[in-house]
Structures are given as structure tokens and as C-alpha cells.
Amino acid sequence: MNDGAVAAGDLAQWFPKLRPAATDERPDGGVFEIGLCCAGAISAGAYAAGVFDFLVEALDAWHAAKANGEAVPRHQVQLRIVTGASAGGMNAAILAASAPYRFPAAGPRATAGDRARNPFYRAWVDEIDIAKLLATDDLERDGFRSLLNSIPLRRIAADIVEHGPASGLAAIARPWLLDPLPVLLTVTNLRGVPYAVAFKGGSPHGMRIHADTLGFMARSAEASAGAVPPDAIDLPFARSASDPRWGALVQAALATGAFPVALRPGEILRPAADYKYRFAQYLPGEAAPSFISPDGTLPDPYAFPCVDGGLINNEPFEMARTALAGLDGRNERDGAKARRAVIMLDPFVEAPGEGPAELGPSIARIAVAMFTALKDQARFKPESLLLAMREDVFSRFLIAPKRYPDGAARGGAAVEGVEAMASGGLGGFLGFFSREYRHHDFMLGRSNCQAFLRNVFALPESNTVFDAETRASRKWRCRDDPKFVPIVPLVGALAEDEYPSPWPRGAFTGWPAVETAFTRRADAAAKALIATWIGRDGAGAWAKRKALEAAWGIWGRGWVRDKVQARLDDARDAVDRRAL
């Protein structure tokens, strides 16, 4: 059904994506607006976490220098929205929870204590580990719900919510953040939201939407609740994991990262009204948008299971772009006029592998190929990446892994994409098996973010977002091309080159490091699965269970072990061979 137009004045209190496009609504000449889009990454979330860490540190240092009256560029930058999927969504959630606190950076000069108090490093390097993911307490409590144990992830997410006050971190107001800050996490809604579109002369056309989002507004200690969008949750500065609002962020972080089968699906309960304004469009001649709402069969409250947001929308770029440009607008691409840009952070920029040329008689291969085709098609968004990679477009930028063989910032042929990271093997899961891999990728993210801010995230010197003094100075120019000025200048120690950690060759022994934990979990999972199939009651159930458990021990365990060992050791060897 179409709810019709709403009052134009109501738009001001709703999500930024509903801003009407208007040339007189652009930010003034001294402000540059940013949207941050964080793609899925699995264990390479450690790389994205490093990017987040350096970006926060760089913006904090620059604004502190301005506040102290130092001779630095005086223009303003404001991060207006963060969108994320899967591991990218988890990092967005960490930013939402941690932004109101002054936390130490986790760079090369940081102490072990500093890194323990850094929410990004703590979550992605210190806390997440395969030993925890192979524990069996979830099987004992809930039965076989996923290949890996998701309970440690819940503990990490709850810890991040409590981290600021529990660690004694001081509150901070960051002027470069929109306050409250909109944070959008994608999920794949397995139940689907029903819509019906009525055509003249016919019955309504029904459909279900499975690409879903969970929205939040994170605010500092100085911000009031303000106007919260109709499909978002207010995150107050005072928090606790037991607060249902912050509990919803924990649930959302787990849901967006719930890799199908590997991790337990998320379970979300929300008001049906959250979907009332989800789809909007400006119709010709109308000053306010019209909305399409779900049909009358949507229950209230609405509960649904969900899995990884990256399954359907792995790069929620359009959400960030629309939040900056308005529902019916566009962000200026010309370098001399640009005032807004979306930064896409994507550790896995490579195209997915080619599907099979022929399927043969295997039903299993047909099912796998069909699932992969549907996933790849849902993610097909060539314009976002193509425009981000064009040198003449200044409204969208891309941060992706790049590493030089000697670790230096320049010199030698760079290795890019998944090959630059230690965590890319096993389809992105390899980082969970080695802290050294995660540490390397975190530091690589920091180093890449520094290079990005120094040489890529820049505008021509003619752009009037910069004041006359900055445009005239040769000090604040890009190292690679002095005709351009960085949008976020690097000040103080952050201007000194950061290099990635040494390549972690030999850091992981492979199968011997996980054999005991893997075997224990595989046996417990097989037992739980058999109990689900056979049941625990009824005539002959005990005998059937024991027979299948014996068959698992004789044939199944060895077959699974050999497959996992071969893949794991191959992934380890690939890391060691690169030895960058």
C-alpha cells in the first residue's frame, strides 16, 4: 500500500537518507561530509579494524591540533553515517559503542596495555580465536546449531558495550562525528517482509524482501536523544549490555556477522512499524516522498531469523551514498566542487570465483552452484566499485589491502587484495586460527589507511573546502601529487610512515595446533546431530544413536579430519610461501 506524501517538515526529524536533494542544502565551503561503507570480511575484519583505528586517531589528532591553535588546515570534516555488513557491520557496531570514549590507539608505538584498552584491537586480535570457536558449551546447551561456537562472539559483543565504562575511559565529544551518529547494519532476513503492489484491473502482486537493515543512532554524553528515525534505535551514552537498546546492538552485530552454517543465525524482534517508511520515492511534482509499506499480514511485533548481511548486501554503499546526497540526489563528482564522499572499505575486492562449466550428475553440485549464483547476483553492484576506482570521481573512494614485499610504504611491486593479508585463506576464515595473522592484518589496515589519507583521499588545490592559507601552502599537499590536498591531514607523529608488521611466516603450525579442539568439537557436534535426527525417546532410539555414533567414529571422523587437515595445512603453506 502507498501511504502517500508526508509533510515536508517531518523530514528534518528522520533519517538523513530522506533529505530532499537541493543545491542550497549543500554544506558550506569549509565542511566536507563523509559516509563510511564497510564490506564483509570474515576474519579479515582485523584489517578493517586497523583502518578504523587509524582513521579515528588521525581525525582526533587533527582536531586536537586545531583546538590547540596549531598551524594546521582549518576546514572541517564530518562523518555522517556508517554502514556495514558482516565483519564490516561488526566494526561499525564497535565504533557506535566506542565513539563516545577516548581510547588509546593500537599502533606500532602502543603498549600492550594500550592495545588491551583499544576496542578494535581487543575484539579482533586479542579476543576472537579458533580455540574459543571450537569450544563445545553451545552444543551442550542448545544442540547443533552451527559448525562453530557463537557464544564467544556474544561475549565479545557484550564486552565492547561495557568496555568504555569498565576500562575507565574518559568521555569525549568528537566534532568530526555527526552526533547522534547513524549506524546501519545489513542482515539477511530469512522470513522475509511481505509487500503487495496493487495494479489497476488486477489482484495485488505479492513479494517478499529479504535484504534487511538494523539502524541505530549512537550519541555522546553531550547529545540529547533528538529525533530518532522511525526504523532506528537510540543508543544513549549511559549504557549496559542489559539495556534493551544496547542489547539490540549486540544482537545486530551478531546477526550481521552470522556466516551461514558456520555461525548461529541471529534472532531479531522488532516493531512492525519499523518497515512503514523503509521504501520511499519522490514522485514527479511532489515536494515530499511517498512510502510503500508492508501488506497487512506483517505481525506486530515481528520476529525473524537472519544470517550474514553480506549474503545479499555485502557492500551497503548505496545506503551511505543516499544519506549524503538525499533520497533523489547525487554527490558532486567534480574534484573542484566535491563536498561529500563515500569511503568504501573492502578487504576482499576480488571478483568471486567462476562457477562450474558443467555440473555432471551430482545433485549436491547443483545446489551449491545455485546458491553461489544467487549470492553473487545479489551482490552484483559494478557501479559502486567502478566509480570508486576512477581517478576523476571525487565522491567515492576505496580502501583495500595493499602490501609491499619489504613492508615499506613504497618501492617494489605491491601485492594487493586478499594476497596482501595473512587472513585471506580458507575463504577468509584463516585469521581465526592465528593471532599473529590477525595482528599483521590489523597493522596493515593502519598502514593502508595512512597511505590512503596521505595520497588518495584528497581534492584538487582549487577546491574551496580548503581555506586560502591551506591552498597556498606547499606543506599540506599530497606526497605523490602536490596538485592535490588531503581532506584529512596527518599531523604530529601520524605523519611519520607506519609500516606493516613483518610477514607472519611460520606463525601457525597448522593442523597440530587445533587437532585436539577440532576433534572434540566434531565428536560433540556429531553426537548432538544424531540425537536431533533420532530423538532421545522411543523404542530403539538408544540403540540407533549408538550405532550411528559408532559409524561416525569408524568412518566419519577420519574422513572429516583428513579434509579439514588438508585444507588448513594448504592455507598455512600458502601464507608461508608468500613470505612477503
Give the count of beta carbons closer than 10 Å to the beta carbon of residue 480: 12
Sequential DSSP letters for 219-250: --TT----PPPTTEEEE-SS--TTSHHHHHHH
| Rounded Cα–Cα distance for residues 552 and 543 (Å) | 14
Grid cell listed for 370: 545455485
308 is catalytic: yes
Burial classification of residue 133, based on how many CB atoms lie within 10 Å of its CB (0-12 exposed, 13-18 middle, 19 or more buried): buried
**Among candidates 43, 3, 142, which has minimal Cα distance to 441?**
43
Q: Is the Cβ–Cβ distance between 379 and 313 less than 8 Å?
A: yes
Active-site residue, selected from the candidate residues 43, 86, 146, 384:
86
Q: Is 285 left (phi over 0), alpha (psi -120 to 50) or beta?
A: left
**Among candidates 159, 156, 121, 153, which has minimal Cα distance to 138?**
153
Instruction: Give the list of residues 6+ apart from residue 102 with CB closer than 8 angstroms, or none.
Output: 60, 169, 170, 171, 172
What b/e readout covers 43-75, taking b as 16+ CB neighbours within 10 angstroms? bbbbbbbbbbbbbbbbbbbbbebbeeeeebbeb
Distances (CA, A) of 105 to 52, 56, 328: 10, 8, 39
- Axis crossing angle, helix 151-166 with helix 244-256, rounded to the nearest 10: 130
| Rounded Cα–Cα distance for residues 281 and 563 (Å) | 51
What is the chain's alpha carbon radius of gyration, rounded to the nearest angstrom? 25
**Among candidates 89, 90, 243, which has minimal Cα distance to 156?**
90
167 is catalytic: no
Active-site residue, selected from the candidate residues 179, 212, 308, 441:
308
Distances (CA, A) of 458 to 55, 283, 451: 15, 36, 11
Query: Is the four-CA dihedral 575, 516, 147, 127 of positive or negative sign?
Result: negative
Q: Which residues are catalytic?
A: 86, 308
